[in-house]
Structure 1
Amino acid sequence: MPTVLLTGANGFLGSHLARELLKRHYTVRTFVRPGSDSRTLMGLPLEFAEGDIRRAADVAAAARPCDYIIHAAALAQINPARSPDVWHINLNGTENVLSAADKAKVQRLVYVGTANVFGFGSQSQPGNETRPYAGYQYGLDYMDSKHAATQLVAKSTLQWGMPVVSVHPTFMLGPLDAKPTSNAMLLELYRGRVPAYTGGGKNYVHVRDVAVATVNALTQGRNGEHYILGNENLSYREAFQLMAEVMLIRPPRIRIPDWLALRYGRLCDLKTQLTGKPALVNSAMMKVAIDGHYFSVNKARQELSLPATPIRLAVQEAFNWFVEQGYLDKVP
């Protein structure tokens, strides 16, 4: 069977990608950092290749021999807003993967980006793959580095003829989020730490749908094309209401005015400067929170057979997993 090198395999999305690949009888070689937490991969029939995505030699060794690569490794850090590590992993790491893919002569590389590299829209007129990057306004190295990496991937197709399809997930929810990452919002809501909401919103998607469409991209989709992987566009008020209903708690009922959210973000920046430690949020995060990051996923539905699992089910499965794993008993 074809061998797929999967970077970031022990992450939230990577854990689902590994399972989807095995389900389709691919041989899966996972690329993970030495000593990193791989509990969500335990018991799976995987090949393990340890290394650092920032080291070209490590990536090249892992890619020999393989038929495909899915590059899902990334550092999705937004607090602090600026960090050299984000650039080293997201941009330099992608450069190393592209080089390894070229040397290994893979049949296709699937690059996992983020929908944030495209211009967002409103709920009535959502953004799509044709809209130019709008994230510069926030000052987040995560968004900027992923945009730069996406451009690098596009350049490799034009200049090298690299067989690449790029997929760009929106905000993922679902089980197996061990760290946790995006699903941490559920825990914060459940513990009563989200007393209010801002006027923005975003597109939400079940992580398993992203895994299915990403694996589909090994054989579906067009070389050099980009696909936003998402599902439901919800305001924060709508999303928190849905999450609260699933977890049987009361949702936050107070909306924070935009001006107050921005002022709070600036105060948090000041606290960070004075203490040298990241505050709960930063001004960049609050700028994001007042905007509506809504997207259309029609292209991925048509060309990558992207499923459309209801977000309510994604929330329910994520919450059930947290309960089963004892996360609700842990109060950080």
Structure 2
Amino acid sequence: MKALVTGGTGFIGSHLVDELLRRGYDIRCIVRDTSNLKWLDGKNVEILKGSLFDTDFLKKAIKDVDYVYHIAGVTKGKNYQDYYRGNVETTRNLLNASLENQRLKKFILASSLAAVGPGDDAIPVDETREYKPITSYGKSKAEAEKLALSFKDKLPITIVRPPSVYGPRDTYTFELFKYVKFGFLPGVLPDEQILSLVYVSDLVDGFILAGESDEATGKVYFISDERIYTWKEIETAVLKAIDKKVIRLKIPPMILYSVSFVSELVFKLQGKASPLNLEKIKDIRQKNWACSIEKAKKELGYKPKVSLEDGMRLTINWYVENKWL
């Protein structure tokens, strides 16, 4: 079997490449000229340098593969157009290029819980939830999903929606561990917030199950951990993994919004995307970012294997071993 992976140089995509290789797949990765190939170096991967906006290039890249895993995407942008271009237009280009591949078994689109937005109450959302994204990122992911599903009569499409993902190579979770290492644990989330998480290897299993399942064609699945967590439970797991006493710093929402406003303004003047902006604060301040995986368990046979405690321990050990911490 041959699989094309976009985003193979990134956190999630590189783990997917590793597991597909372990399972005997031939792997082809589309990368940019500026991509850092450190997670692919030394591995039996065919590297194609090109653009997701180059139609002829994409047709050649896809022409003889069995699976397309579209993992690449934009998670940080200056405006909605950045997200639309990086998440919707790239998906459209790949879908159109895939139409000429008669051997294609599955086109798997990596989406996000953000596409449907946070839950309205304390009940985890499931796949019947209508689209209610609250950020530009979420709106672009929703549009990418709608676009992909419009092709389901022409192509075998499956969409996978993870919540927040963590594990080795993740730079987002790493920022939290850096604060903890120096003895501080910033409190920015509501105490009553519930949320889902998924360890990266469990997500990769979900991607592959979705890819290999005929029943999954034309459908959408949440892939997450078995449990729903409170922020307090996540804090406890982090502190246990790093084994360090910390000072908890509760940051009032007004300060968060003020700092993000200034950050957004400064980066905008520089023509760059701010890592901290008003939409991001709005996103993390929601009280319900939890999702149900019952559909994936029933139809795909999905079963997460890594607990929060083990996942945090594995992640921190990797950060230490690789001298990130």
TM over 0.5: yes
Unaligned runs of 5+ in 1: none
Find the counterpart in structure 2 of residue 288 from structure 1.
Answer: 283
Unaligned runs of 5+ in 2: none
Q: Could you report, residue by residue, the CA deviation over 1:251-276 in whole angstroms, capped at 9, with x for unpaired residues? A: 55354454554455445545556777
Q: C-alpha displacement at 1:149, in angstroms? A: 0.5
Inter-partner Cα distance in structure 2 for 1:191 and 1:61: 49
Q: Which amino acid aligns with 2:323?
A: G
Match of 1:189 among 180, 186, 189: 180
Inter-partner Cα distance in structure 1 for 2:44 and 2:100: 26
Conserved 8 A contact 1:203-1:233: yes
Find the counterpart in structure 2 of residue 94 from structure 1.
Answer: 91
Inter-partner Cα distance in structure 2 for 1:274 and 1:182: 28
Q: C-alpha displacement at 1:131, in angstroms? A: 1.0
Identical residues among aligned pairs (%): 25
Inter-partner Cα distance in structure 2 for 1:37 and 1:52: 15
C-alpha distance 274-87 of structure 1, shift in aligned 2 (>3 A): closer
Inter-partner Cα distance in structure 2 for 1:279 and 1:119: 21
1:155 aligns with 2:155: no
Map 1:40-79 onto structure 2 (within 5 A).
Answer: 40-77=39-76
Inter-partner Cα distance in structure 2 for 1:119 and 1:208: 24
- What secondary structure, in the 3-state scheme, does the structure 1 residue paired with 2:15 have? helix
- What secondary structure, in the 3-state scheme, does the structure 1 residue paired with 2:212 have? coil
Q: Which amino acid aligns with 1:133?
A: Y
Q: C-alpha displacement at 1:290, in angstroms? A: 1.6
Match of 1:301 among 297, 301, 306: 297
Find the counterpart in structure 2 of residue 144 from structure 1.
Answer: 139
Conserved 8 A contact 1:128-1:297: yes
Q: Could you report, residue by residue, the CA deviation over 1:40-85 in whole angstroms, capped at 9, with x for unpaired residues? A: 122221111121122222222211211111111111116x5x2533
C-alpha distance 182-122 of structure 1, shift in aligned 2 (>3 A): farther
How high is the TM-score relative to the length of structure 2? 0.88
Q: Aligned pairs, how many?
A: 318
- What secondary structure, in the 3-state scheme, does the structure 2 residue paired with 1:327 have? coil
Conserved 8 A contact 1:240-1:251: no
C-alpha distance 62-279 of structure 1, shift in aligned 2 (>3 A): closer
Q: C-alpha displacement at 1:314, in angstroms? A: 1.6
Find the counterpart in structure 2 of residue 134 from structure 1.
Answer: 132
- What secondary structure, in the 3-state scheme, does the structure 1 residue paired with 2:43 have? coil
How high is the TM-score relative to the length of structure 1? 0.86
Q: C-alpha displacement at 1:123, in angstroms? A: 8.2
Find the counterpart in structure 1 of residue 81 from structure 2.
Answer: 84
RMSD between aligned residues: 2.4
Inter-partner Cα distance in structure 2 for 1:212 and 1:172: 13
Find the counterpart in structure 1 of residue 161 from structure 2.
Answer: 168
Find the counterpart in structure 2 of residue 11 from structure 1.
Answer: 10
C-alpha distance 277-38 of structure 1, shift in aligned 2 (>3 A): closer
Inter-partner Cα distance in structure 1 for 2:211 and 2:272: 42
- What secondary structure, in the 3-state scheme, does the structure 2 residue paired with 1:39 have? coil
Match of 2:114 among 111, 116, 125: 116
Inter-partner Cα distance in structure 1 for 2:159 and 2:168: 24
Find the counterpart in structure 1 of residue 228 from structure 2.
Answer: 233
Find the counterpart in structure 2 of residue 210 from structure 1.
Answer: 203
Find the counterpart in structure 1 of residue 217 from structure 2.
Answer: 223
C-alpha distance 17-99 of structure 1, shift in aligned 2 (>3 A): same
